[in-house]
Structures are given as C-alpha cells and as structure tokens.
Amino acid sequence: MKLSKNVIIAAGGSGGHLFPALALADRLKEKGKQVILVISSKKIDKKISNLRDYPREIIYLELNLLRKGGAKAPPFLNNKPRTKTLVRAKYSFPAKRGARFPKGTKFSWRIYLSFLRVNRILNKYKPAVVVGLGGKNTIPLLLLSVFKRIPTLIHEQNVLPGRANRFLSKFVNKIAISFSSTKRSNASAVIEPVDKKDKLLFKDLSVNSRLADLSHTTSLWDKSLRRFTILIMGGSQGAHRINMTTLRTLKELSRSERERINIIHLSGESDYPFLKKEYSELDIDCSLFPFLENIGRAYAAADLLISRAGATTIAEIIALKKAAVLVPYPYASGHQKANAELLFLKDAALMIEEKDFNPQYLRQIILTLENNPERILEIKKNLEQFAVANADELLAEEVIKLGNRVERRG
C-alpha cells in the first residue's frame, strides 16, 4: 500500500504551541510532506495559523482532562463557581437550572460531536502520522488516531509537561521533549512511560518559524543610535502585568536615563490602545505593536528582553542568545516557573516572580545591565550550553521515520 504524504499537526491555545507547530510544518513541507493543521477555535490560533497557507481544520470542543492538580485560576476568577466537567466550550456544564436537557446530556452530546468531527478529519486526509504539540483541543484527535492505529507523536515544549500531553503520553507511539530535565519531573507532572527508551525522544525544538530567516534579515531599528534597546513582550497574547509594570518603571526613569534607552513593546491587543496613549505622553523612544509577525527583527535589535517564560520564548532566547528578565506566569501549573528556572539556575537569565515584580526592582535591573555590558555578555555565553542545532529538522525526520516504520510493519 502506498504511504500517505499527509501529516496532521494538532496544536492550539497559545503561540507556545502554534509557533513550534508551524516550524515543524515548514520542515515537513520541505521534505515533500503535505501538512494539515488542526487548531482550536481561539482567535490567537486563527491569527497565527494565518501566517501560513496550510489546510486548516478547527476543533471547537476542548476536553478538560486531568483536572486535579491543574492550573489555578487567577484571583479575579476565583469567585466563579467551579463545575466538575470534562468539557470546556462556549457552554457551562452541568446545564443551568431550567435547561431543556437533563444534566450531562449536552455534555455527552458535544463529546460525541467532537469525535465525529475528528473522525471526519482523519477519513478526509488519511494521514501517515498525527503529531500533537499541546493544547486540550488535541486530545480527541490523538485518542482517535491511536484507536485507528495511525502512528502518533507528541512534542512537549515545557520543562513541566502540560495536562494534555501527560494524558496522551500513555497512548502515543513516540514522545519528544525539549529538555532532558522533563523526564525527571515530579510524579504528578511526569511524561509516561519514561522507561521505554525507544518511545522517549530528546529533540529540542529551539528554532521556530518566527526565527528561521533571522540570519538573512536586518533590524527594523537603527543600531547606529547605540541606545540600549529593551524588547518587552508577554507572549503571543500579551501580558497585562508586564505591560503596566514596565510602563510605570519607564515613567520613574529620569529624563537623561530615558534618552539612553530605546523600547520595543509588543503589548497584545487588549492593552494596546491604553499604552499607545501613555507612550505618546512619555518622552521616550518607543515602537509599540499589538502583535509583530516578524519578531526576529525585534530580537535582532534588542539588548535585553523582558518577558513571560513560555516555551516558545525560552526557545527563542536560547536560539538567539538574548539576555532576558523572565517573569513567569504564576497561574500555569508551574510550567513557566520551571522554564525560567532552567535558565536562571545556570545563570543564563534573570528571573523575577510576579509577586516581586515592581517598578523599583525592575528599574534597578535595567540600569545595572545598561551600564554593565560585560554582564550581558556573560549571560549570553551561559546560554550556549542549551542550544541544539537544526532541532526542528531532526524532529521532522523523526516524524517521517515513524510513518515509514509503522507502514512497513503493516
């Protein structure tokens, strides 16, 4: 039987899942594979996947498995009632009082529809391999692929694996991890089974689609100005706490201090209008964007990064050897803190927990690093121990190898 050229890549929920998915898709396309992206219905998924012209399918239902020990809600959400459900969609379950359907009926019906949708996707494309890169929307697709004996692989970008990948790791053919420390995670967050050497792969996807052409580009900002350039961002969707604290910090700088600094700020959509107004009244050289497709050019200009510690950001810092102040998001099951500590404990980045992230502390760090280029060079040097060359290329080869091997056995 002729081997299918189709590879389905499922990811969703954040840029941390989607940018590595695009990187892998690009490499597979170069090797003659036809890639289909399966994403969630979130706006950020559609926005990022629009950067490429791959066929795209959307799964509207997200299974919320392994709830125990999962991500804590931010304080402002704690007053909302919690429901013991397996589904997170546009509806809340159990059904509200007075609803037409008995409790759990709509829940079961939407699960059925999600697997029906996934089955149609698999029958339509008949993939040689199905790859999951994280996100709850990937669970139905990977589970049904396992049931249909379609070769499956998941890739975990974080030091601490997410709930979807922890659950799926028990069933898929291959598991790829970004950092060797992932397999030494504590028992509540471990990728299983870790003792099967032929199943667990170490492939650091440290170069992603946003950076692939960086070596052939120039900065959008004139480096001849010789100003200390700070890139501020909070991930693909922005981070309100980082936006507000950095703005307050810049306001506390003296006029002469602001004249020595250039700011590139990726704010996300929500805070963009407010920050645009504030920066217009602040005497500082700032380039403000809600979202920047060619982020490689911003990195090229930056001397220092202030950011969250998502998996994609960590990969970019390692690949480009950028000094960074990492402020891990505290409500993500400890994923971002573990990512940040990976670099912090090797003196390859600075880390500030959100409870300690204030204008006075950040101002001190910025001015210290601006006046101490040797310290920045030291941090960059320490990042070299993490780099893996051609990582996305290696992962693409593993995907193709998996499809070929399983096909020969069949």
Q: Is residue 304 part of a domain?
A: yes
Q: Do 174 and 255 belong together in one domain?
A: no
Q: Do 167 and 300 belong together in one domain?
A: no
Average pLDDT over residues 384-404: 84
Q: Do 249 and 311 belong together in one domain?
A: yes
- State which residues form the domain around 89: 6-206+389-404
Q: Do 130 and 252 belong together in one domain?
A: no
The β-bridge relationship of strands 174-177 and 261-266 is: unpaired
Average pLDDT over residues 221-228: 66
pLDDT at 363 over 70: yes
Q: What is the pLDDT of residue 322?
A: 95
Q: Do 105 and 58 belong together in one domain?
A: yes
Residue 100 · residue 361 · CB < 8 Å: no
Q: Is residue 333 part of a domain?
A: yes
- pLDDT, tens digit (0-9, with 9 covering 90-100), for 270-329: 999 999 999 999 989 999 999 887 788 899 899 999 999 988 889 889 888 999 999 999
pLDDT at 137 over 70: yes
Of the pLDDT bands very low, low, confident and very high (cuts 50, 70, 90), residue 334 is confident
The β-bridge relationship of strands 350-351 and 285-289 is: unpaired
The top-scoring range by mean pLDDT among 78-87, 99-108, 279-288 is 279-288
Q: Do 69 and 139 belong together in one domain?
A: yes
Q: Do 233 and 326 belong together in one domain?
A: yes
pTM of the full structure: 0.75
Q: Do 219 and 304 belong together in one domain?
A: yes
Q: What is the pLDDT of residue 105?
A: 56
Q: What is the pLDDT of residue 248?
A: 97
Q: Do 258 and 274 belong together in one domain?
A: yes
Output the domain CATH number for residue 92.
3.40.50.2000
Average pLDDT over residues 335-357: 94
Residues contacting residue 367 through CB under 8 Å, at least 6 positions apart: 257
| Lowest model confidence (mean pLDDT) among 38-42, 73-77, 397-401 | 73-77
pLDDT at 17 over 50: yes
Starting at the edge strand that comes first in sequence, how are the strands of the sheet with 304-307 ordered?
285-289, 261-266, 228-233, 304-307, 324-326, 350-351
pLDDT at 239 over 90: no
- Give how far the C-alpha of residue 260 lies from the chain's centroid of Cα atoms, to the nearest Å: 32
| Lowest model confidence (mean pLDDT) among 29-33, 82-86, 361-365 | 82-86
Q: Is residue 154 part of a domain?
A: yes
Q: Do 104 and 225 belong together in one domain?
A: no
Average pLDDT over residues 82-90: 34
Residue 307 · residue 242 · CB < 8 Å: yes
Instruction: Single out the residue of 154, 142, 152, 134 nearest to residue 118, CA to CA.
Output: 142
Q: Do 156 and 264 belong together in one domain?
A: no
Average pLDDT over residues 128-138: 90
Task: For 323-346, give one letter per residue: b (16+ CB within 10 A) or e.
Answer: bbbbbbbbebbbbbbbbbbbbbee
Instruction: Single out the residue of 154, 150, 153 nearest to residue 165, CA to CA.
Output: 154
Structural domains counted in the chain = 2
Cα separation of 233 and 1, whole Å? Answer: 49
Q: Do 269 and 359 belong together in one domain?
A: yes
